[in-house]
A and B are shown apart, each in its own frame.
Chain A
């Protein structure tokens, strides 16, 4: 930890960031994006693991937002980390700013993050858990980011929540890690063309998010009604279409960090995903 600031201001954080001077200790010379993450307390450990896994892959400024709206005082605390990755072959370092938004500060996150975003570079917003659609903190951050990354596997209340998500599609490009995890199965299903044209029933053994998205995808691509039948499992292990078993494509294993890293490289909307969500 390079600095730990209690009841601080954005100006103070900016000053401290400038003083970190990554050139002094590393040969990192380029940033390619600002990575913001909204991390409620219950997601803190998981977010920390993914961030660690990201390691030196994406040179960026990471703003980790830890909201605590129930705190007694309205206050901003910050911790600045300057993490170096000697194993990357170069002495590469990354800036991570943990922002603790206490009390009503948690309702005005955009006013804090906008001055800290890197100019002229894309801003990615990773939202841990289910976003509070329509609430100020979510609406504000969507307004100051270029891409929203969610994992609908983390959401209760499916499939209804997809309806709310679809309402932001015209305002921000969206990545859903649950959708990314279905790739090998979608590739396997695509192999069944043209027989799959007349599909009626999709059986999925797996989490609800992946199952809903696969069914929505088939409905939207094939333009027909398809019934979803699901058995619960922690990951998709088996799929059948009208009794025909689907072989997934052989793809390298991807960790949570790999999936996030891949999405941080994308800049455009995914119309196939959007259509799948709308057809869930």
Chain B
């Protein structure tokens, strides 16, 4: 029997991961520069990384350790949320290495494994490895196979972070999953969807399950419909080769949007462990359907104006085919066929070059059954809506009716706002910070499991199967608007409107 250490009880220490080496494949890429390294630095600045820690950047480009460090230091300065502290940087940089090697096409893995073994000996990384696949999907399989075949060459634990997109459709996602699980256990695979690392997405769970007042009315009896918007004002930002093939449905709808929907609609988990939360999400994803082709619409932006500046149409973007049929906007009516949500529509939309950047989940409650006021008294009164603002202006607001001061009884909509930054005046951590730390700690709660990905693709496959036969008339919305008119028609057919913002 191991005696429990009584001195550990009540010690409020930050949880620090085991010693390990983090290997980033795709170290010369934009994701590493803009997101991963600033996040790693922020973790280091908060002493949340293990003392014995190393980062190995791997890419085909030739670069020395010193050049890699200098480039990442610039990245932290440019994109980090913390001011660069030389002491913190020196400590982090002392464990940074770069390997210019072709692993997918050559035999660079020998060099990599030698370097990692050397770090185990010299830096004490204890044979624990995190492999971050920040590379194009085409390279996933070969990297996984090359690492997988050699995994008995190190002794500690192994974790594999896989960036989206996980597959192109259900069949390819299943094939990729089979390739990975040939070498790695499901518990070792961390499929990243950075939306799940956002504080406000997690706050949705706190809002629902830490407050007794919402859960009793969070169902078909009280909710008229749910509206989820993931709107971006930016275009494709030079990612034409990826976007032409993916479109909005694979870029955002299949992952971010369906995950937001699952978190909104799921049943309370028995606890907040990875499997409990993911079990509940997958039940929602499994219960989801769209009532037919006319309830899914798509669009593509033409030229327009964003924040007073003219912008190109999608087909004029560099690298995009002049007759491209790729959608940059999708709206759909979805149903979750279960006891809680039967017949309650979920209107969802995602798009690029929309009027503003905004991700919101709006729960619109049913109108009061019999307001005892004159009809004119409540003109201008909108339905009660609870809105979770995921980004920007993270927070929650509740639109309710209130009496206008003065004689008589006039009722107007007022907004009660909880602004995240107003209540907790600390800067919200970046999603990647949270997710990288969780992975180092072995907590997969905020990562998607294979069965979730599978269900998400099943729905997307059902949606896109009809598109190959269509001849959409694109572009069908101007950049800087809220999307094509067919999206408005989609919701108006049901006597409803998209939320006014």
| Bound CA span A29–B414, Å | 14
Contact present for B422 and A196 (CB under 8 Å) = no
The one of B3, B8, B419, B427 that contacts A29, using a Cβ cutoff of 8 Å: B419
| Bound CA span A251–B12, Å | 11
**Considering the complex, which residues of chain A in the window 104-138 have a beta carbon less than 8 Å from any beta carbon of chain B?**
none
Given A190-B5, A222-B6, answer yes or no on A183-B422 (Cβ-Cβ < 8 Å). no
Asked if A250 lies at the interface with its beta carbon under 8 angstroms from chain B, I say: yes
B67: which A residues are within 8 A, CB to CB?
none
Contact present for B47 and A89 (CB under 8 Å) = no
| Bound CA span A57–B422, Å | 9
Asked if A156 lies at the interface with its beta carbon under 8 angstroms from chain B, I say: no
- Among B12, B14, B425, find the residue whose CB has the most chain A CB atoms closer than 10 A: B425
| Bound CA span A90–B395, Å | 14
Closest to A196 in B: B7
Contact present for B5 and A272 (CB under 8 Å) = no
Contact present for A193 and B421 (CB under 8 Å) = no
Tell me the minimal C-beta distance from A191 to chain B in angstroms.
9
B426: which A residues are within 8 A, CB to CB?
57
Contact present for B419 and A30 (CB under 8 Å) = yes
Closest to B419 in A: A29
| Bound CA span A271–B427, Å | 31
The one of A58, A89, A189 that contacts B7, using a Cβ cutoff of 8 Å: A189
Asked if A67 lies at the interface with its beta carbon under 8 angstroms from chain B, I say: no
Size band of the B side of the interface?
A: 20 to 34
Contact present for A92 and B422 (CB under 8 Å) = yes
Contact present for A27 and B11 (CB under 8 Å) = no
Asked if A205 lies at the interface with its beta carbon under 8 angstroms from chain B, I say: no
Contact present for A90 and B9 (CB under 8 Å) = no
Closest to B8 in A: A190
**Considering the complex, which residues of chain B in the window 417-471 have a beta carbon less than 8 Å from any beta carbon of chain A?**
417-419, 421-427
Tell me the minimal C-beta distance from B394 to chain A in angstroms.
11
Tell me the minimal C-beta distance from B206 to chain A in angstroms.
14
| Bound CA span A280–B423, Å | 38
Contact present for A190 and B425 (CB under 8 Å) = no
| Bound CA span A251–B5, Å | 21
Closest to B416 in A: A29
Contact present for B10 and A92 (CB under 8 Å) = no
12 further A-B contacts with Cβ under 8 Å, apart from A58-B425, A252-B45, are A28-B419, A30-B418, A30-B423, A59-B422, A90-B422, A183-B12, A183-B13, A190-B8, A193-B8, A221-B7, A222-B7, A271-B10
Q: Which residues of B contact A (CB under 8 A)?
A: 3, 5-14, 45-47, 51, 417-419, 421-427
15 chain-A/chain-B pairs, Cβ below 8 angstroms: A28-B419, A28-B422, A30-B422, A30-B423, A88-B425, A89-B421, A90-B421, A186-B11, A187-B11, A190-B8, A218-B7, A251-B13, A252-B45, A252-B47, A273-B10
Of all A-B residue pairs in the complex, the 10 with the closest CB atoms, nearest first, are A272-B10, A190-B7, A30-B423, A193-B5, A221-B6, A56-B425, A29-B422, A30-B422, A28-B422, A57-B425
